[in-house]
A and B are shown apart, each in its own frame.
Chain A
Amino acid sequence: DAGVIQSPRHEVTEMGQEVTLRCKPISGHNSLFWYRQTMMRGLELLIYFNNNVPIDDSGMPEDRFSAKMPNASFSTLKIQPSEPRDSAVYFCASSSSGGPQGEQFFGPGTRLTVL
């Protein structure tokens, strides 16, 4: 299996621009998670989906952030407009409810820099 795939791996943009991060979970996994990691705040859960349905988006920092999962093999995290404080590494992770509870597998991450 290819594991969780994220794109792009690096993104540099200017303040005010729209940013879209993409994720392909492991085939057969039915839960998908978006995290943000910074030195100051560590790893923060932004939102997670179960069977393509958003279950908990309480970690989404504000309305500038939105996430979608149109099908079982694809999810996006969008930031519009982006701000310098959004600079972080964004991870996508997936898990299977049929497997041991909660074992999540992470993608390589997208390093976002907003100038």
Chain B
Amino acid sequence: QKEVEQNSGPLSVPEGAIASLNCTYSDRGSQSFFWYRQYSGKSPELIMSIYSNGDKEDGRFTAQLNKASQYVSLLIRDSQPSDSATYLCAVSRAGNQFYFGTGTSLTVIP
């Protein structure tokens, strides 16, 4: 079983819609959770971090964490064509053990 699982997509949404990206993780001892955005040919860029159950909002982005279900999600409201990228879910445990999912490709259609 992989440490972090994501649906590879591709996920397509129309401009202005809500994009919903999901991620599950296998280790209940995981402590920190991150979403990275990676444009084609570029390096991953941190966009959200979440450490406790519930929602965390930052602009058009909302991260949701449910530790009981071992589930992390990212919602992008009012999606824009510039949001088209691959989104990587990452999980860390104590001692800086860090695991990435394989990413979900998102396309926002104008």
Binding site for B on A (CB under 8 A): 31, 33, 35, 42-43, 45, 48, 50, 55-56, 91, 95, 97, 100-109
> DSSP class of B's interface residues: helix, strand, loop or mixed?
strand
Knowing A103-B46, A108-B43, the reply to whether A50 touches B96 (Cβ < 8 A) is yes
What residue of chain A has the Cβ atom nearest to residue B2's Cβ?
A42
* CB pair B100 A42 closer than 8 Å: yes
- Give the interface centre of B45, B90, B97, B98 by most chain A CB atoms within 10 Å: B98
Interface range, B side: 20 to 34
A42 to B49, CA, bound (A): 20
Q: Which of B46, B95, B97, B102 contacts A104 (CB 8 A)?
A: B46
Residues on A with C-beta less than 8 A from B42 are 108
> DSSP class of A's interface residues: helix, strand, loop or mixed?
strand
Residues on A with C-beta less than 8 A from B32 are 100-102
Knowing A42-B101, A42-B102, the reply to whether A103 touches B34 (Cβ < 8 A) is yes
Binding site for A on B (CB under 8 A): 31-32, 34, 42-46, 49, 51, 88, 90, 92, 95-103
| Interface pairs (7), CB distance under 8 Å | A43-B100, A43-B103, A45-B100, A48-B98, A97-B96, A103-B46, A106-B45
How many Cβ-Cβ contacts under 8 Å join chain A to chain B?
57
* CB pair A48 B96 closer than 8 Å: yes
Q: How far is the CB of A43 from chain B (nearest CB, A)?
A: 4
Q: How far is the CB of A2 from chain B (nearest CB, A)?
A: 14
A56 to B95, CA, bound (A): 10
Q: Which of A43, A48, A97, A107 contacts B88 (CB 8 A)?
A: A43
